Structure 1
Amino acid sequence: MAVEPDHPARSAVGSVRIAESDERHAVLAFSGVLDAHVLRELEERLLDPHLRQARTWVLEMSGLERIDLACAYGLLRAVTVESAPTTVTVRGARRGVVRTLRHVGLDAVATIET
């Protein structure tokens, strides 16, 4: 039996949007559930040229319900490549999200505010 897209038992598909961005600072707003289905879109968004100019990233995760390991590793890759920001801060993440981010080692290159 197929689950209807608006069925309450189904979690919202995840998204990441660039809330602000200039040469120095970017804020990314995460929401829903980030899993393997949105990995490619996530990685493309994190490679956005306007975003890559910013030296400081704030990852606003208060709207993020869950992130799977594939997406967490994608995020880790984005903040550790040669053109990566120099400062990354995670804000508002739920306990389960923080646990996944720490599992992939994001806490070694980013400040996770709880």
Structure 2
Amino acid sequence: MAEAHPPEYGHRTVRIAEAGGEHAVLVLSGDLRGAPALRELEERLLDQRLGRARSWVLETAALDHLDLACGYALLRAATGGPQPVTLTVRGARRGVHRTLHQAGVDKVAVFEG
């Protein structure tokens, strides 16, 4: 009997490209869906540099897919701290924008491009 493995959805990157003082840039690319992607995103969102920043930019131009669980994780991170962050989403493709809207991120973020 073959051992069951969770599906792999391909390459993904969640990285902090810039973080200094009150500003941070988080770059999301590839395919963010499923438990491994959610775990990676949540770990990155706990980074102390993001915790100190009051303004976040999410660079999503290279993000092919974002699932709803990851969208909710972004919303929780942006609104769950002692002071909510100012959130700007750049370059979201139609499907990514739709998922962020479904998660409620559009209520707290400005979308560019």
Q: Give identity over the alignment, percent.
A: 56
Distance (Å, rounded) in 1 between the aligned partners of 2:11 and 2:83: 26
SS in 2 for 1:93: coil
State whether residues 9 and 33 of structure 2, in contact with CA within 8 Å, keep that contact through their aligned partners in structure 1.
no
Alignment partner of 1:106 is 2:105: yes
- 1:33: which partner in 2? 31
Q: Normalization by structure 2: what TM-score?
A: 0.86
Q: Normalization by structure 1: what TM-score?
A: 0.85
Any stretches of 5+ residues in structure 2 without a counterpart?
1-7
- Picking from 10, 13, 18, the partner of 1:12 is 10
Distance (Å, rounded) in 1 between the aligned partners of 2:102 and 2:63: 17
- 1:77: which partner in 2? 76
RMSD of Structure 2 on Structure 1 (CA)? 1.5
SS in 2 for 1:12: coil
- 1:50: which partner in 2? 49
State whether residues 52 and 83 of structure 1, in contact with CA within 8 Å, keep that contact through their aligned partners in structure 2.
no
Letter in 1 for 2:104: G
Any stretches of 5+ residues in structure 1 without a counterpart?
1-9
